[in-house]
A and B are shown apart, each in its own frame.
Chain A
Amino acid sequence: GQQLNQSPQSMFIQEGEDVSMNCTSSSIFNTWLWYKQDPGEGPVLLIALYKAGELTSNGRLTAQFGITRKDSFLNISASIPSDVGIYFCAGRWDTNAGKSTFGDGTTLTVKP
């Protein structure tokens, strides 16, 4: 089946630093999604990407849909303490279906 490799597994950074994480897949996807999950909560959608090559921003977050459709990355600029959490990438083959394949997550720790 489809598998997503998300890296890095964890990051420890200083407040104010930029962060970059990425996902690669063995198969192509037609939709890439990035979520953040806080302890005890469900994932919250940060950015959705629908076209190969698409670059989308949401505040300090920027994500790109890779040209090959097999990868995506997420950048966070000028990190702040509330950025702490687990970030997940997810891919969907069927754009209009609820079946998403998730990466294993990147745990982000921000030191003030």
Chain B
Amino acid sequence: KAGVTQTPRYLIKTRGQQVTLSCSPISGHRSVSWYQQTPGQGLQFLFEYFSETQRNKGNFPGRFSGRQFSNSRSEMNVSTLELGDSALYLCASSFLGAGRPYEQYFGPGTRLTVT
């Protein structure tokens, strides 16, 4: 079974631009979560989507948004990029169902550099 895939793997953007990152979960997984990883703040939860609805949200400004499509694929968008948005953005998927533990499987991440 293919793992979580994220595209692109690397991205360089200029301050003020916007960016869209994509995540394809493991087949059959309907929950997708996004995390930001930086050396200073570590791994921080951004948001979680399930069945195209946002279920949980972390403490990030409104410039960070996401969505999930009917095939469970998810995108996250960051508008008006700031230098501090440079980070590894990780997507994690999980099967959500009765009797199954909620275990997250991470993708390789998208390395975003803002200059």
Chain A residues within CB distance 8 Å of chain B = 1, 31, 33, 35, 40-45, 48, 50, 88, 90, 92, 94-105
Contact = CB atoms under 8 A, between A and B. Distances in A.
Contact of A45 (B31, B96, B105): B105
A103 to B, nearest CB: 8
Interface stretch (B13-21, B76-84, B106-114): B106-114
A102 B43 CA distance: 6
Given A42-B4, A43-B90, A100-B45, A50 B101 contact: yes
Given A45-B104, A102-B42, 9 more contacts: A40-B108, A42-B4, A42-B109, A48-B103, A94-B56, A95-B101, A98-B102, A99-B48, A99-B58
A96 B42 contact: no
A98 B104 contact: yes
B56 A99 contact: yes
Interface class of chain A by DSSP: loop
Interface residues of B, number: 28
Given A48-B101, A50-B101, A98 B108 contact: no
B55 A97 contact: yes
A95 B102 contact: yes
A100 B104 contact: yes
Contacts of A41: 108-109
Contacts of B90: 42-43
A96 B59 contact: no
B84 to A, nearest CB: 18
A1 B108 contact: no
B24 interface: no
A104 B43 CA distance: 8
A102 B45 CA distance: 9
Contacts of A94: 56
Given A1-B59, A105-B42, A98 B94 contact: yes
